[in-house]
Structure 1
């Protein structure tokens, strides 16, 4: 099965088995939402939102809050719109089939991007991460917050770990390096949070258990301008 076929299955509008399109537990999601602490009436953007599960929960956490989900996967957008309608959020959460790097909205109270730094062009993966953080910082009002999820190495990666993730040496750094990268574009870390990466589909399990388990994880940073 090709990567495109896998994405089509997990992002299908009728797929109610996969809640998150990222390594995230219910407990960790609740912690992230509490850390972001959206205020009543907050304006929230999720760049690379998928079907917007986290975006909808952030909006639900704050009376009168609204959200923009920016996503190019048409199946994910269709599923997100369906879920928003079912949860009574159709007038508060809007999905936009626009590349994240081309989104021009600004003045948000909170900007989110989880595992989507590749959406910003860059000569290297690290440069894409920097470009993503720069765009998120520009999208929020002064004093606004950014929730950013990115892969980090817990220890020096072995060849098997690199192969399992599908990464080149230097594509990802440590948690400290990610925090310093965020600081370099004017963001400061409020809550560094990370969760153990788990295999999302059978096609990835060999690389996970045989290569990068206990070596690679996804860091979630709550940042402020």
Structure 2
């Protein structure tokens, strides 16, 4: 047994507790989809899509539309393909095992990128510039990224395993960065504390504990619980209340 095996067990694409890999409620998701209408026969791309839950719902609600889900994780791509087949959307949504920064098709009506700025070397600002070129005039981008609600403490940074400059800054800084990239900021919403708590509880911390309870004799049981405890402590004793997550609807 290895750390690699434990990582695979607890990885987000293998976690049945997660609907999407972001702090997002069903109500909030519906409001985002409503804010990004896709014309009949429109084209949608989700860059860094994971298993593409939001992409699938957008295409499902837009008759005749098609979607491309792009992610470098083969496990996430495979989960997305299974979900598409299960909903009868496999002829409308194609998943591609590719890096977001290497995806070259353009002319989309809507581009989505949620929590995936790490796919671009320059992080947030480079991601925004790249997304700007992906959609056609009159199109939109649905962009999700982190921000600091207040300057983070050392414990917050340690719990997150991050440096302060890994995020563009405050919420205002994030929206300004979108405007600087040539977007018209149309709508800004943020994950509330309940969305964060549910996401973190269903993430590696909660899934690790649940998996350990379901596999009491597995040789990795104790390692899974230890990993869950570290993540729980990093959140509750670290970045809870410091790390925010924003969803921006941006016009072109």
TM-score (norm. length: structure 2): 0.82
Distance 1:6 1:135 in 2: 30
Offset of residue 4 of structure 1 = 7.9
Residue-by-residue CA offset, 1:99-130 (whole Å, 9 max, x unaligned): 000000100000011110000013xxxxx111
Distance 2:107 2:119 in 1: 21
Distance 1:114 1:131 in 2: 14
CA RMSD of aligned residues (A): 1.6
Which has more helix, going by share of residues?
A: 2
Residues 45 and 8 of structure 1: is their aligned pair in 2 closer, same or farther, counting only changes over 3 Å? farther
Q: Which residue of 2 aligns with 1:208?
A: 235
The 5 A counterparts of 1:97-136 are: 97-122=97-122, 128-136=123-131
Residue-by-residue CA offset, 1:10-63 (whole Å, 9 max, x unaligned): 313xx5432111111111111110111222222000000001100000101111
Contact 1:8 1:75 in 2 (8 A): no
1 or 2 for the larger relative contact order (CA 8 Å, sep ≥6)? 2
Q: Which residue of 1 aligns with 2:191?
A: 195
SS at match of 2:164: coil
Q: Which residue of 1 aligns with 2:94?
A: 94
Residues 3 and 179 of structure 1: is their aligned pair in 2 closer, same or farther, counting only changes over 3 Å? farther
Distance 1:73 1:98 in 2: 8
> Which runs of 5 or more residues in structure 2 are unaligned?
206-227
Aligned length, in residue pairs: 218
Distance 1:143 1:165 in 2: 37
SS at match of 2:186: strand
> Which runs of 5 or more residues in structure 1 are unaligned?
123-127
Distance 1:85 1:174 in 2: 40
Q: Which residue of 2 aligns with 1:125?
A: none
Offset of residue 3 of structure 1 = 8.1
The 5 A counterparts of 1:17-96 are: 17-96=17-96
Q: Does 1:174 align with 2:170?
A: yes
SS at match of 1:135: helix
Residues 150 and 4 of structure 1: is their aligned pair in 2 closer, same or farther, counting only changes over 3 Å? farther
Residues 131 and 32 of structure 1: is their aligned pair in 2 closer, same or farther, counting only changes over 3 Å? same
TM-score (norm. length: structure 1): 0.92
Q: Which residue of 2 aligns with 1:11?
A: 13
Contact 1:46 1:112 in 2 (8 A): yes
Residues 62 and 143 of structure 1: is their aligned pair in 2 closer, same or farther, counting only changes over 3 Å? same
